[in-house]
Amino acid sequence: MKKLRVTVNGTTYDVEVELLEDDELGGSSYGFPQTTGAPLPSPVSSNVGVPPAAAPASPPVPQPGGNKKELTSPIAGTVVEVKVSAGASVKENDPLVVIEAMKMNTNISSPVSGKIKNVNVKNGDSVQQGQVLITFE
């Protein structure tokens, strides 16, 4: 039992309180410090007047279809199937490459009609977003 003096609305009471939990563990106290109710001083910032640092610039990612002579990957993933070879003639929207990402297959179609100059990937290759997959003549 702990004896406390409590003041409520100007009336003082002497009370005995039973401790339900002990704030000691292994002889060390882990209770919170008691305060007087006065507000704590606000912390002073050490970088007053210092402008915030600029965010690091990230390298630009080539956009799919930006160059009509190149077909770039719109996503990162694994090449599952290459449907064309160098020298083949294709029409706009013909499927050229299938890429798997997160257990989903994505068909990559030709952005233009023309002839395939070079195929830069093969089945099983890992590709990054913006990587050139096929070049056109």
Tell me the whole-structure pTM to 2 decimals.
0.52
Residue 2 lies in a domain: no
Place of tokens 């798997």: 100
Nearest to 83 by CA among 75, 93, 94, 91: 94
What's the pLDDT score for residue 36? 65
Q: How many domains does the chain have?
A: 1
What's the pLDDT score for residue 62? 47
Which domain does 98 fall in, by range? Answer: 70-136
Q: For position 111, which CATH number holds?
A: 2.40.50.100
Question: What's the pLDDT tens digit per position in 11-51?
Answer: 999 988 776 666 666 666 666 666 666 666 766 666 666 67
Residue 119 lies in a domain: yes
What's the pLDDT score for residue 81? 96
User: Could you tell me the mean pLDDT of each successive run of 10 residues in the chain, 137 residues long?
Assistant: 86 83 63 64 65 63 61 95 94 95 93 94 95 94
d(CA 64, CA 74): 6
What's the pLDDT score for residue 68? 78
Residue 102 lies in a domain: yes
Residue 100 lies in a domain: yes
Task: Classify residue 135 by burial, with Cβ atoms within 10 Å: 0-12, 13-18, 19+.
Answer: middle
Residue 4 lies in a domain: no
